[in-house]
Structure 1
Amino acid sequence: MSKVLIACLWCLGAAYGAMAHATSVVFLNPGMSTETFWVSYTQFMQAAAKDLGLDLRVRYAERDANNTLAQAREVLQGSQRPDYLVLVNEQYVAPQILRMAEGSGVKLLVVNSALTPDQVQLLGARNGIHLIGSLVADDEEAGYLMLSDLLHQYGPVAPGQSLDLLAFSGFKTTPVAQLRERGMRRALAEHPEVRLRQLVFGEWSRERAFEQAMQLFKRYPQTALVWSANDQMALGAMQALQASGRLPGKDTLFSAVNSSPEILQARLDGRLSSLVAGHFTVGGWAMVLINDDAKGVDIGAYGGRDRQLALFQLIDVGQVRRLLGPTPSVNFRALSAQGKPASYLYPFSLQLLLR
């Protein structure tokens, strides 16, 4: 056998060995594989995994909690278990998945929707579950920021006058939706001049919100403000307002969460008055934590194992233009706590993409 061939085989073997020993991660994505938010979330996560050398697989549940549970069972009870499983407590599925993981040897990280206090209490101490922590954005603050900014955009209200508000929340059984609604109600309590006429559950769907808004705008023709817990419901409600002959951004002011190209464009052209975004980055930051944990870094020593990050921020027109432009690259490896001083805190922020 020639020396060249031996060298080639050695290189192939080394490459295979590196791949075989790459830390493996499965993400149970609760969203639709065609859903803008969850697709962009996954893309950012994949960029992080690639930069960090992680072997990431993503399974979409297509908004069906039963799919999530079936996928979890397959991952945790199959013959080729990953090193890590990343999950979302969408529709409160996390405790069932944690029970499945007991004794599996798979480490777990919860993102976006953490366990509720009641769930933590019910689970109790289970030594066979390797939960390395949770990583969530402050969804209550997102709901609060949206309505507060919407009122700022509207301007002062004359004494004795009131404003009619409609609100579109997500699934009733989603912690994220509940937290955003709680934030909206906190802002509402600070502004007695605003009357919440009705809150409906648009289930994150543009089509459902459109149908609901068509009826609501007839029922409440004086609606001045529309608060939406995501971008798709805001777009559906805008479409319904336009169908009634009125103009979003002029006759009625809208707010939304997320950073899909369509909602960014709506913010740019004035149809959307208030936009909050930033939490699509959570999956990418989760990859940094997993990579550090896999290398033996005590991630809890650098800000705790259960993290609520102030990722949400109001997006102005200049930031919209940056987000609509080429996606900036992030050096995820540089964010690692490995070799950093004890005072180091992971600098997870949307600002890393807006520089």
Structure 2
Amino acid sequence: MIGVRGISKGLFATVALCGLSSVAVAADEPTIGVVVPTLDSQFWNRDVTFLQTGAAQLGVHLIVLNADNKPDQMIQSAQDLVARKVDGIISVGYWSTAPATIRFAKRANIPVIIVDTYPAFSPQTGEHTNYIAFVGPSDLDSGYHFGKALLSALKPSPDGKKVIGVVNGTAGTSVAIDRRKGLQKAIEEDGNVRIVGEVDGNFVRDQAQTAFESLYQGHPEMTGVWSGNDPMAMGVIAALKSKGKVPGKDVIVSSMDLNPENVEEVKAGEQLYDIGGHWVQGGIALEIMYNYLHGFKLPADQATIKLKLLPMTKADVPRFVRDFPGGQPNYDFKAHSKVYNKDAPLSPAFDIHYSQ
């Protein structure tokens, strides 16, 4: 399932409670703020659930702020956490919000971990000394694998080409850029692919469905769709059904995230392939932050953590259900923390895999 390592002891922090005078509390119970793009997403709910599991095991007070898919709200949430004098901030770097989050937190000497979408600079470089780590998926690697799975399943059209459409995520994000680079790698290796068009689904189901309906209307010859994430894949599947097509038969769909409804789509054969498990990134970041607050700093050369993810075909669904009940790994945060286990290595090492 998932193996990890990390963390250590002590100190005190000062926090303000309900606007009253500051009181000293043990850093064994730090307050850590989390900013996520939206809790309307199955993915981000799984991410937060794993964070909450870790917080309960480690004795962390967790504040989770939902930005409702609004870039300005992401920044406002970071400012709110700074005003609350949290001990650390874990934030998703959507819409290029990471630099501002890091900057606001630095003024208050608050450490920050960015997850999922990284800024243009590495942790602990230049003036960004409070940016202690990045944790997220290896998007290029993942984009390559679900692209390769799609292309391997397609039969060439009469002109000898495998004909696909592409539904990209939010333009300009590292997530969308790297996943598309992964697809390009798979295309170049195949050498026999024709892309009839690309649309931006903004990582959202409804937008992807509308955009893909227009794309498919103009290019009904496509037999495969590479979708940048699972919500968009659900939009593609809905669009295909509205056109009287059978997903998985008339048009093959491949995607990423391992959202619950997409696992069901893979099981039903309407989605060929999925890859994911990076909803553990929040919990991993929590463990690293807990380390840091107890005096164990992750070395700069180990501070960028790119997760290799869990692949899924129809045959893998029973294994996934067994190994990740409710979508959560069986993971003991204390056993992998130096605060509780002196033999735990400082640098986290993560491996998401099936048990058999």
For normalisation by structure 2, the TM-score amounts to 0.84
CA distance in 1, matches of 2:318, 2:348: 27
Partner of 1:212: 211
**Secondary structure of the corresponding residue to residue 307 of structure 1:** strand
Could you tell me which amino acid in structure 2 is paired with residue 26 of structure 1? G
**Secondary structure of the corresponding residue to residue 207 of structure 1:** helix
Query: How far does residue 321 in structure 1 lie from its aligned partner after superposition?
Result: 2.9
Partner of 1:95: 99
CA distance in 2, matches of 1:229, 1:294: 35
Higher deviation after alignment, 292-301 or 41-50: 292-301
Higher deviation after alignment, 213-222 or 249-258: 213-222
CA distance in 2, matches of 1:82, 1:28: 12
Shift in CA distance, 298/19, structure 1 to aligned 2, threshold 3 Å: closer
Partner of 2:351: 349
Task: Please show how residues 215-226 of structure 1 align to structure 2 within 5 Å.
Answer: 215-226=214-225
Partner of 1:307: 305
Is this contact kept in 2: 1:166–1:199, CA < 8 A?
Answer: yes
**Secondary structure of the corresponding residue to residue 291 of structure 1:** helix
Query: How far does residue 48 in structure 1 lie from its aligned partner after superposition?
Result: 1.3
**Secondary structure of the corresponding residue to residue 167 of structure 1:** strand
Shift in CA distance, 335/21, structure 1 to aligned 2, threshold 3 Å: closer
CA distance in 2, matches of 1:158, 1:170: 27
Is this contact kept in 1: 2:157–2:163, CA < 8 A?
Answer: no
CA distance in 1, matches of 2:349, 2:304: 15
Query: How far does residue 185 in structure 1 lie from its aligned partner after superposition?
Result: 1.2
Is this contact kept in 1: 2:200–2:211, CA < 8 A?
Answer: no
* Equivalent in 287, 302, 321 of residue 318 of structure 2: 321
Partner of 1:41: 47
Gaps of 5+ in 2: 1-22
**Secondary structure of the corresponding residue to residue 217 of structure 2:** helix
Could you tell me which amino acid in structure 1 is paired with residue 118 of structure 2? A
Could you tell me which amino acid in structure 2 is paired with residue 330 of structure 1? Y
Shift in CA distance, 158/196, structure 1 to aligned 2, threshold 3 Å: closer
Partner of 1:288: 287
Partner of 1:27: 34
Matched, 1:54 2:57: no
Could you tell me which amino acid in structure 1 is paired with residue 249 of structure 2? K
Could you tell me which amino acid in structure 2 is paired with residue 199 of structure 1? E
Is this contact kept in 2: 1:288–1:333, CA < 8 A?
Answer: no
Shift in CA distance, 300/124, structure 1 to aligned 2, threshold 3 Å: closer
Task: Please show how residues 97-112 of structure 1 align to structure 2 within 5 Å.
Answer: 97-112=101-116
Gaps of 5+ in 1: 1-15
Partner of 1:7: none
Partner of 1:10: none
Deviation per residue, 1:195-223 (Å, 9 max, x gap): 11111110111111111222222211111
**Secondary structure of the corresponding residue to residue 107 of structure 2:** coil
Structure label with greater radius of gyration? 1
CA distance in 2, matches of 1:295, 1:45: 18
Higher deviation after alignment, 246-255 or 318-327: 318-327
Supply the RMSD in Å over aligned alpha carbons: 2.6
Is this contact kept in 2: 1:165–1:224, CA < 8 A?
Answer: yes
For normalisation by structure 1, the TM-score amounts to 0.85
Deviation per residue, 1:306-344 (Å, 9 max, x gap): 22222x2311335423444634531111222552376x7
* Equivalent in 67, 72, 77 of residue 73 of structure 2: 67
- Percent identity, aligned pairs only, is 24
Partner of 2:133: 133
Could you tell me which amino acid in structure 2 is paired with residue 70 of structure 1? Q
Query: How far does residue 272 in structure 1 lie from its aligned partner after superposition?
Result: 0.4
Deviation per residue, 1:47-93 (Å, 9 max, x gap): 111111111111011111100111112222x2x31110111221111
Greater relative contact order structure (CA < 8 Å, 6+ sep): 2
Shift in CA distance, 20/314, structure 1 to aligned 2, threshold 3 Å: closer
Query: How far does residue 153 in structure 1 lie from its aligned partner after superposition?
Result: 2.6
Task: Please show how residues 193-212 of structure 1 align to structure 2 within 5 Å.
Answer: 193-212=192-211
Deviation per residue, 1:149-203 (Å, 9 max, x gap): 112233x648951121111111103211111111111111122211111111101
**Secondary structure of the corresponding residue to residue 136 of structure 1:** strand
